[in-house]
Structure 1
Amino acid sequence: MTRLLIWRHGQTAWNATDRVQGQTDVELDEVGVAQAERAAAWLAGFKPDLIFASDLSRAAGTAAALASLTGHEVEFDERLRERHFGPWQGLTGAEIAERYPDQYPHWRAMGDAADLPLESTADLGRRVTAALRDIAARVGDGTAVVATHGGAARQGVAGLLGWPAGVASSLGALGNCHVSDLRLTQHRGWQLRAHNVGPH
């Protein structure tokens, strides 16, 4: 049975201050490093066969903690990057609401913002889902851990499950260094076995 453990990266200073990261390359902070080490010890118990990660530092650093315990090399795929938020990258939620009063409420409600060069949720979902399908084909009847980002994880999970557009927003956000557990079964296809789980 194919198993994908979709793992959100550890905390960064921008996470802690509600600052939009998108594809800005922000490293883990001290809390995030500790989260990654703790989660890696837990994930190593699932005996992963492959480890993949977004090439952004916060995901790469998270995956490295697991690689050091398992002996596996991390394979990087830029399709696993977070959504590109255009001019919103680097701003806090409050700053976006102040500077973009027309677009911000629509984005909060619908996930997209008109008239701005933000990557759409549909495009994000397509690229992350394609990456996850390729990883699933690589790992075959085994387990792969995929270190990625909150928005990317949500859209990728929804894409693998075949959810229609808009349903992904009903899936709660992954906490830092938490996991969605997906398995590909012969008769029922992809199933979400657990969501937002992590070490106790």
Structure 2
Amino acid sequence: MTRLIVWRHGNTDWNAGARVQGQTDVPLNDLGRRQAVDAAELLVRMRPAAIVASDLSRAADTAAALAALTGLAISTDERLRERHFGEWQGLTMAEVAAQRPEEHARWTAGADVIGGGVETLEDLGKRVSDALQDAARQAPPGGTVVVATHGAAARQGVGHLLGWGREQLRTLRALQNCHWVELTHDSARGWQMAAYNVGVLAERPVPPPV
């Protein structure tokens, strides 16, 4: 049985300020780096055979904390990047709500945003799901792969991989920084979720994965 760990990156200053990151390359802050080290000390016990990360620095640097403990090289895949939020990127969510109320209302309702250059949920789910499946192939049968990615990307990619509908996905809370999803795969059952939002106890409330 192959195990896939889908790991959200550590905290950034934009996370802390509820600012939309999307594909802007925002680095980890001091808290995020501590979170990555603490989480890596748990994940190393799973004896990963491979580590794959988004090429955005907040995810790649999170993965580096685990690579330092395992000696494994990190493979990067740009398909694991966060959802592209177009003209929202760099704004706080309060600014999005004030300046682009119709788009914000659709986002809040879980619908695709019309306008603003925001990536569709279907496109996001498919590209991340494809990347997750390719990452899983890097492990030998029965092995574990850890994938460092982003909040919205993780949730939508996992949902697409499992064949879940949009309403079903909305029942999942946002992944906290440096928490992960555990998936397993075998030939009889296909992909299954074994655990969700697992990690070291959060040090502070975490804003939505943007």
> Which segment drifts farther, 105-114 or 5-14?
105-114
Secondary structure of 1:4's aligned partner: strand
**2 CA distance for matches of 1:111 and 1:25?**
25
**1 CA distance for matches of 2:98 and 2:166?**
28
Q: Render the CA deviation track for 1:3-50: whole Å, top value 9, x for unaligned.
A: 100000000000000000000000000000000000001100100000
Which residue is 2:148 aligned to? 147
Which residue is 1:51 aligned to? 51
The alpha carbon displacement at 1:86 in A equals 0.3
Secondary structure of 1:68's aligned partner: helix
1:116 paired with 2:111, answer: no
How does 1:82-93 map onto structure 2 within 5 Å?
82-93=82-93
- Relative to structure 1, the CA distance from residue 63 to residue 152 in structure 2 (aligned partners, 3 Å threshold; closer, same or farther) is same
The alpha carbon displacement at 1:166 in A equals 4.0
- Relative to structure 1, the CA distance from residue 27 to residue 111 in structure 2 (aligned partners, 3 Å threshold; closer, same or farther) is farther
Query: Share of identical aligned residues, percent?
Result: 56
Secondary structure of 1:36's aligned partner: helix
Which residue is 2:178 aligned to? 177
Extract unaligned runs of 5+ from structure 1: none
Moved over 3 A (4+): none
TM-score by length of 2: 0.92
**Equivalent residues, number:** 200
Q: Is the 8 A contact 1:122 1:165 kept in 2?
A: no
RMSD, matched Cα = 1.1
1:138 paired with 2:107, answer: no
Aligned AA (1:29): N
- Relative to structure 1, the CA distance from residue 2 to residue 24 in structure 2 (aligned partners, 3 Å threshold; closer, same or farther) is same
TM-score by length of 1: 0.97
How does 1:26-105 map onto structure 2 within 5 Å?
26-105=26-105
**1 CA distance for matches of 2:175 and 2:101?**
27
